[in-house]
Amino acid sequence: MRLKNNARFFCLIITVLCYSFTGVGQTKYGLNKALQTAKLNNPYLRTQQFNVDISMADTITAHLRPNPILNNQSLQLINSTHYYPYASSASPKSRQIWWQLTKPFILPAHKQNKINYARQSVVLEEKKFAEIERNLLMDVASNWLDIWTSRKQIDVLISAKSNLDTMVATNRLRLKNQVITETELMRTELLSSQYAVRISSAEQAYKNQLANLKVLMGVTEDFTIDTSEVLNYAFTSNLDSLIQIALNQRSDLQSIQSSIQVAEAGIKLQKTQALPTPELGMIVNPQNTIPYVGFFGTIVLPIFSRNQGEIQKATVVKLQAQQELETSKVRAQTEIVNTYNMYKAQEANIVNYKKYLLQSETILTNVRYAYVTGGTTIIDYLEAQRSWIDTQQNYYETLQLYKQSYIQLLYSTGIINKIAQ
């Protein structure tokens, strides 16, 4: 019996340990890891990657040479009066056969321009993909930050409720000793119950946010975020340098620059397509069993159509891309300046709010002591408790704005793509 009880106890211990390790073993995702995971696993991003592969297939087509053309013509005598003597309709002497083998010859400049156009198109698709990736990473970072703030807010509520629960236990003892009234106990219990409801709602919202982030990251297992991570990606604090980095690295600007290069390649391609493509070959033509061999050549005479419309269209496309690039550069500079100023303003707010945190903590401690010792009322204590939690939550909201401006700055400069590498 003792061995049986020991076995049961051992199994219970193993079960508890396994459950504990399961909870502890949940993967924690910091911002960098979340971005890297999303870059690898996001289903939408993986779908967009095929656009690059599709474009690369065009380079294979551009390298291909045109196929030779085989032409056959057979002419049969239908009037028997023209037959050779003693020849029938099935006789080779009663028909003519034409075999023609030709091949279009593309000019070297034309082929090279086709290849260059296809290659530039691949680069353009890669830049477009990088821009899609940049926007996705911004969504992931924003969702991660929202979850980080939610977790901090929940922790504040839990801490506040824990303090109130302690006060509830103290007030129950004080009521028993007739030091306070029943109303004071009820007011303390009421505020504790309100915090419990807020915690329950916040926990559900937190789980929903985790589910949304799971979809963006393209993972299936449950995870938590690393609330201890500090966003400390090093970048220059000089505004002019940040603008220059953005002009050189932002994927949307690079995409427009690639569009200009594609347009330039398109102009060259359309100009060479205005040149005729000769078709040359040999002819074998047995006529009534008499063999003939000849040469075949054809070429389009560019008298009326010289591809003027497509050349003009390609030129206008280039002008449009150049105008778009100039507009986008101005918009990017304005965006960076605004984001940088917001980042600096929120950085100053964080310094001030740290002072407010210390003040609210000191006030709550002093009022709590005064209330327990009978030096103040329950109203002062509850007000100090509410002020403390409001200050805590406002601090994390301000911290979220600071971190959001930090992430926005990484996004505006294009540095966010490098973090996910």
Contact indicator for 281, 104 with CB cutoff of 8 Å: no
Q: Is residue 131 part of a domain?
A: yes
* C-alpha distances in Å from residue 322, one per residue of 125, 157, 232, 244, 270: 18, 54, 36, 19, 19
* pLDDT (0 to 100) of residue 72: 93
Q: What pLDDT is recorded for position 60?
A: 95
Query: Looking at the domain assignment, is residue 101 inside a domain?
Result: no
- Pair 87, 94: CB distance under 8 Å: yes
- Is 289 a member of any domain? no
Q: What is the rounded distance in angstroms from the CA atom of residue 83 to the CA atom of residue 30?
A: 93
Is 303 inside any structural domain?
no
Task: Indicate whether 8 belongs to any domain.
Answer: no
Is residue 269 within 8 A of residue 149, CB to CB? The reply is no
Q: Is residue 103 part of a domain?
A: no
Q: Are 417 and 251 in contact (CB under 8 A)?
A: yes
Does any domain span residue 300? no
The residue range of the domain holding 404 is: 27-79+108-278+316-419
The rounded distance, in Å, linking the Cα atoms of 7 and 369 is: 51
Q: Which helix (H) or strand (E) holds 198?
A: helix 182-217
Query: pLDDT at position 371, please?
Result: 85
Q: What was the pLDDT predicted at 379?
A: 87
| CATH code of 366's domain | 1.20.1600.10
Q: What is the per-residue pLDDT for 287?
A: 86
Query: Cα–Cα distance between 2 and 25 in angstroms, integer?
Result: 34
pLDDT in tens, the chain (421 residues): 444 444 444 444 443 444 343 444 578 898 889 999 999 999 999 999 999 999 999 999 999 999 999 999 988 888 877 777 777 878 888 888 999 999 999 989 999 999 999 999 999 999 999 999 999 999 999 999 999 999 999 999 999 899 889 888 888 888 888 777 888 888 888 888 998 999 999 999 999 999 999 999 999 998 898 888 766 676 777 888 889 989 998 999 999 999 999 999 999 999 999 999 999 999 999 888 889 999 999 999 988 999 999 999 999 999 999 999 999 999 999 999 999 999 999 988 888 888 888 998 899 899 988 988 888 888 888 888 889 988 988 888 888 999 999 999 999 999 898 888 7
Q: Is 255 within a domain?
A: yes
Count of domains observed in the chain: 1
